[in-house]
Amino acid sequence: MLQEEVYFWKPVSSSQRLAYVLADENLTVLTHSKRLKAWGGKNSGSLIGLSLVDVFVELVGAEETLRKILAREQDSFTLSQVNRSLDDGQLLYYDLHVRPLRELGRVLLLIVNDVTERASKEQQVRQQRNELRLLNAELQARNEELDAFAHTLAHSLQNLLTPIVISADVLKQELTDVVTEEARQVTDIIARNSQRMSQVIEALLLLADARRAEIMLLPLDMASIVAEVQGRLAGMVEAGGAEMVVPATWPRAWGYAPWVEEVWENYLSNALKYGGESPRIELGATVQQDGQVRFWVRDDGPGIAPDEQVQLFIPFVRLKHANLAGHGLGLSIVRRIVEKLGGQVGVQSAPGQGSTFWFALPAAGPRSCA
Amino acid sequence: MIQKKICLVGDFAVGKTSLARRFVEGIFDDKYLSSIGANISRKVLALDGSDLTLLIWDLVGGEKFDRVIANYYRGSAGALLVCDLTRPETLDKLTGYASDFLGINPAAHLVFVGNKVDLTSERRIRDVSLAAVAERYHAPVFISSAKTGQDVQQAFETLGQHLLAGRVS
């Protein structure tokens, strides 16, 4: 709050928003509108004869600018939404605009525009916006903490599990002839479940790291990526008697190949698992008008009901009919890494009509690559 | 009497208004009220036998640097650059604020302030991180709390002393 010995203009009438002051080349007030009067100090009343910079302390430091305006080296000077708390607690907002008044020689015109009403509304909007930004930042910080925690936990578990996986394999191979059938079954259970646990932990690590990882986006060689994934899933394709239809060329898109491989592997393994008996799985891509390429996997399985579709990409949610082995992390990983790559994910499906899972990535250019 | 304009600069909700009110009026209000534009207050400091009047411009935070902000900065002799010790991103942005401010006032003196030190369990900026940023500008650092008053007076007084020293030299 400004102390009382400081001069200041005081609003005399609330019906007028604009007021003016004229000052000479020495920055001394020559005249002013009646709306303004000195407030505080010994000379309460008229501003005439006072220093412009003493009355309007907002102009302290701007003296050089004011002289440039008088010398016609600068057109004008504006201070927007300057505000002061008055003694009665009222907050007054005003714009100050200084320009030369050439008709009267070397004279400055200061226009004072009371913008309190407009500024008060703007303050309310800004208040809400800033509170939202604070909440958003807090959420982001908590997410980072959770990711860091998940990363640490998964690493620790993986370190503990690795010797169990290795030991179970050794037991299976070395003790075949000397243990009972029951002991062999127990050893199998240990080996199988420790392998599965290891996969879950790997998935958790990818999920935890995706949001904070620093990666470089490059144009993708989608044909190679898909071929790599097909190779990995060859056993499943053969076991399920599946047919996989792949296009000869792909539109170019930006991405990070190791992650995009994960996306395809998730979509294709889901299609193999849930696409029905001897599924026909079609892959494709569509260049969209929004500058993205939509890559998709279509199966002819039983389809997914709308209420289940909305839960698909949420971590640890598995659908009722998804009774095959799985841990419910796959699609949530897909979503997180595709969003990190600047893309989107989704599904189109209806019961009895199969499903089309898609992910969209920023297009890299018009050229297609095989 | 010597009169100097100084600015309080930093991201939104770092506590610039609270620091100004603590320094000028000696009060603190926990409620967050976002500022718009520039609020001007004044305080006279008795330093080294001189009376120094500080015109304190508490500026809107979180806005992009443009002509309006440049005009607020213009003619300032110094600035307190404030970050919130519980929000690391507010420290990241301080160099941008410092560089914009010095672009308008190349000879200005800076003091860096890490505010809200009273929120001990939420603190996420270490002293050394803030000191490293301040070091780039050869500026002093204060770890403050507008709520308790810790180091608020000292930060303003240090800036005032630098302004007086700069004036003499």
- Please tell me the predicted confidence (pLDDT) of residue A16: 65
A214, HSE (Cβ side, Cα atoms, 13 Å):
0
Provide the token pair at A241: 């008697």
Contact B26, B75 (CB under 8 A): no
| Closest of B117, B101, B90, B119 to residue B159, by C-alpha | B101
**Using CB atoms, which residue from B5, B34, B74 is nearest to A127?**
B34
Helix and strand tally (H, E) in chain A? Answer: 9, 12
Token pair for B107: 């000879």
Cα–Cα distance for residue pair B168/A25, rounded to 1 Å? 28
CA atoms within 13 A on the CB side of A330: 22
- Is residue A185 packed enough to be buried (19+ CB in 10 Å), middle (13-18) or exposed (0-12)? exposed
Q: Residue A5: its pLDDT value, please?
A: 40
Nearest C-alpha of chain A: how many angstroms from B131? 23
- Put simply, the chain B residues between 100 and 129 with a CB less than 8 A from any chain A CB are 124
Contact of A134 with chain B, judged by CB distance below 8 Å, is answered with: yes
Sign of CA dihedral A269, A275, A279, A283: negative
Instruction: Say which amino acid occupies A71.
Output: A
Q: Which residues of A touch B37 (CB under 8 A)?
A: 80-83, 93, 119
Closest of A71, A21, A69 to residue A49, by C-alpha: A21
Q: Do A127 and B41 touch (CB under 8 A)?
A: no
Q: By the 8 A CB rule, do A284 and A299 touch?
A: no
Please write the tens of the pLDDT for every residue from A185-224: 888 888 888 888 888 888 788 877 777 778 889 999 999 9
Residue B82 CA neighbour count, 13 Å, CB half: 32
> Cβ contact (<8 Å) for A130 and B76?
no
Q: Using the 8-state DSSP alphabet, how is residue A103 labeled?
A: G
Structure tokens at A274: 């849930």
A62 touches chain B (CB under 8 A): yes
Report how far residue B18's alpha carbon sits from residue B28's, in angstroms, rounded to the nearest whole number: 6
Secondary structure element (H or E) that encloses residue A76, with its range: none
Quote the CA–CA distance of A24 and A43 in Å, as a whole number.
Answer: 19
Please answer yes or no on whether A61 and B76 come within 8 Å at the CB atom.
yes
Tens digits of residue pLDDT in A116-141: 889 999 999 999 999 999 999 888 88
What gap in Å lies between CA A357 and CA B88, rounded to an integer? 39
Other C-beta atoms within 10 Å of A350: how many? 12
- pLDDT (tens digit per residue) in A97-119: 999 987 777 899 999 898 988 99
pLDDT of A149-159, one tens digit each?
A: 888 888 888 88
For residue B58, is pLDDT > 90?
yes
Q: What pLDDT does A8 receive?
A: 57
A97's enclosing H/E stretch is: strand A91-100
Question: Considering CB atoms only, which of A2, A62, A123 is closest to B41?
Answer: A2
Predicted TM-score (pTM) of this structure? 0.69
* Closest residue in chain B to residue A77, using alpha carbons only: B71
Distance of CA B167 to the CA centre of its chain: 20
Task: Name chain A contacts of B60, Cβ cutoff 8 Å.
Answer: 81, 126
Using CB atoms, pick whichever of B13, B25, B68 lies closest to residue A1.
B25
